[in-house]
């Protein structure tokens, strides 16, 4: 084998190796985020704390999925306290049961075992929204049996920012792109009663975030 051929093979290997590594671990190639798409839609959340950097008194994670392998739908996960005490809530209001099962088995439960170890009580529901994304945004979740009426309200927004996390993270292995609008204040209202706790500002890297945020145009890839 000639010296020129050996040099050519080595150069080719040098070019191909980074592409192979990128394909295995995720990344972007020719403008395409590599990996399998699991869901795309919206995923705003609220965490109400007793004090800054304190204990979470209530947490809501809202999902409006535009695309998934099991179809579109809505889910509102709500936990009060630690979800274990007799008076605590740990419910999932849903309008697509298969979507809830898919999120738990294929996405959330893969890096947060509490979804399987302490499953949410699933309640069929309907969903509406209102607001202008300038002053206020509201998601309204009503169970079909009229037992739960949950309102999630975000107000007084910080400057929005674009989130783009790579795949393979230690806490969450999914790569996520999302348009974040942090809120200075928020409420979780259950059956007409606001839950205790407040929203507090937090930093996310170099930008101002909050324990309550809207997350639109969100896609999960791995």
Give the C-alpha separation, 100 to 89, whole Å: 17
Averaged confidence pLDDT in the chain = 90
Give the pLDDT score at 27.
Answer: 80
Domain ranges of the chain: 1-29, 35-221
The answer to whether 213 and 45 are in contact (CB under 8 A) is yes
pLDDT at 66 over 60: yes
pLDDT tens profile 89-146: 999 999 999 999 999 999 999 999 999 899 999 999 999 999 999 999 999 999 999 9
Q: pTM of the prediction?
A: 0.87
The answer to whether 174 and 220 are in contact (CB under 8 A) is yes
Query: Which residues touch 197 (CB under 8 Å, ≥6 apart)?
Result: 48, 49, 50, 56, 57, 58
């Amino acid at each position: 084998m000639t010296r020129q051929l050996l040099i050519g093979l080595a150069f080719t290997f040098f070019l191909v190796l980074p592409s192979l590594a990128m394909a295995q671990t995720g990344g972007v190639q020719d403008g395409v985020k590599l990996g399998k798409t699991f869901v795309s839609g919206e995923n705003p959340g609220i965490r109400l704390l007793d004090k800054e950097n304190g204990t979470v008194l209530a947490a809501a994670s809202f999902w409006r999925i535009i695309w998934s392998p099991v179809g579109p739908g809505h889910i509102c996960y709500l936990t009060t306290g630690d979800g274990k005490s007799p008076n605590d809530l740990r419910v999932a209001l849903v309008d697509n049961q298969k979507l809830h099962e898919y999120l738990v088995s294929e996405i959330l439960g893969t890096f947060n075992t509490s979804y399987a170890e302490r499953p949410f009580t699933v309640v069929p529901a309907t969903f509406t929204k209102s607001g202008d994304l300038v002053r206020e945004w509201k998601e309204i979740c009503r169970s079909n049996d009229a037992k739960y009426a949950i309102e999630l309200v975000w107000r007084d927004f910080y400057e929005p920012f674009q989130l783009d996390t790579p795949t393979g993270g230690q806490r969450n292995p999914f790569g996520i792109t999302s348009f974040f609008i942090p809120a200075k204040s928020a409420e979780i209202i259950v059956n007409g009663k606001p839950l205790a706790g407040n929203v507090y500002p937090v930093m996310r890297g170099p930008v101002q975030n909050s324990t309550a945020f809207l997350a639109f145009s969100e896609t999960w890839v791995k």
